[in-house]
Chain A
Amino acid sequence: MKKTSADVLPGLSEGGALGDHPLLAVDNLHVEFRTRAGIVRAVNGVNYTVNSGETLAVLGESGSGKSVTAQAIMGILDMPPAVIPKGEIRFKGTNLLQLSEEARTQVRGQRIAMIFQDALSALNPVFTVGWQISEMFRVHRGMSKADGLKKAVELMERVRIPAARQRVHDYPHQFSGGMRQRIMIAMSIALDPEVLIADEPTTALDVTVQAQIMELLAELQRESQMGLILITHDLGVVADVADKIAVMYAGRIVENAPVHDIYKAPAHPYTKGLLESIPRVDLKGHELYAIKGLPPNLLDLPTGCAFHPRCPYRQDDCVTDTPPLHEVSGTRSSACHYWREVLDGEHQ
């Protein structure tokens, strides 16, 4: 009954050579939700890539489309109401959007896995955690219950849950928030995925627990050279772990850059505004810069650049022309007509 993923993904052997293809590439992805109130344009042309062993941080506020992009990669969007009118998601060169549902099931969880924000609601309250972790092995690998449970204990030890052998029979509510998130991580790495998507993995946790979880993720990544996509709104976490950053606003990537460049000199007014608006634990600042106004309504996006109503650099053409992703240097790009002025730090 069991098929290896090589059968359904032609040209993709387990851990095979990447050739010229990045591990995962999202290319001009669009996602809309057709609702009664109208078309909600949640994702409007997203591009990013992630390679083995690399950490890409996708940064954005609520409603910026960062989670919807991740759900499209995983193939877990409810369609309808969601529609993907344009774009490609290429895993080692194969466009996932053109695969059959059966083939996608082989990719999901095995090659690309995901950690969700709220571990308590992502875990099933009426099954033991051991049962839920071993489900991965029973379903995808055809293991017996006993073997699956043994594997579950191994995984729980790998994510450093104390007394794993006893706790494998416990239910999710018997664990603390940090421990539940570890169980989620154990489930996601069970089948050695090549890409791991972590959607706000530490937002619900205290800082000391957040530090534990981020350290664990970094270690697992070092061991297995996964490509990690970290979705977050926390500029601090990003600065700590990311190799490169994609900043999202109103469903678009507004800036793509290596982590050091973006914190030193942002090339988009939104990124710049965000960096100036956060208080810092190591500095006592004066008044915070506040980006004026509110995030846009996705049912009715502003014309031209979606950020123009809130932007201090706005000119007339921002209202009419949507800025393309301008190349700032070999490794970074910005979707702003006036990225040069922003980069130079000229405030208007």
Chain B
Amino acid sequence: MTFEVIGTYAVGLCLLIGGAFALIGTIGLLKFNDSMTRLHAPTKVGTIGVGAILLASVINSFVSGEGSMHELLIMAFLFVTAPISANFIAKVNIHKRACDTPPSPPRDDTWSTLAVPEADRSLADQNAKV
């Protein structure tokens, strides 16, 4: 078993794992039936799915003799930005009442998404009726 052969098997294994998790994430996106549970499927694709495929790319670049570190950057930026997009989708769901209204917080008045300034309250009520 040479280094190349082991490397090639490792690349194949990583690609399979990444592909499988991306597929499961997509199945979850199709299967779940409300917008909040659907949000959970892409977080899986974003972590293991993309992570394993990028790992395959790193191993492949080292096996073929020209090391590459771009993938680490991709992973770092992905891990920093993915929670923000998920957070915004969740906030839109709460704002549009597309999910169960969350229980109110124990110490403060309300959740920041639901906090409407006094001046805009009549507008918010109108929107809620429509």
Partners in one complex: no
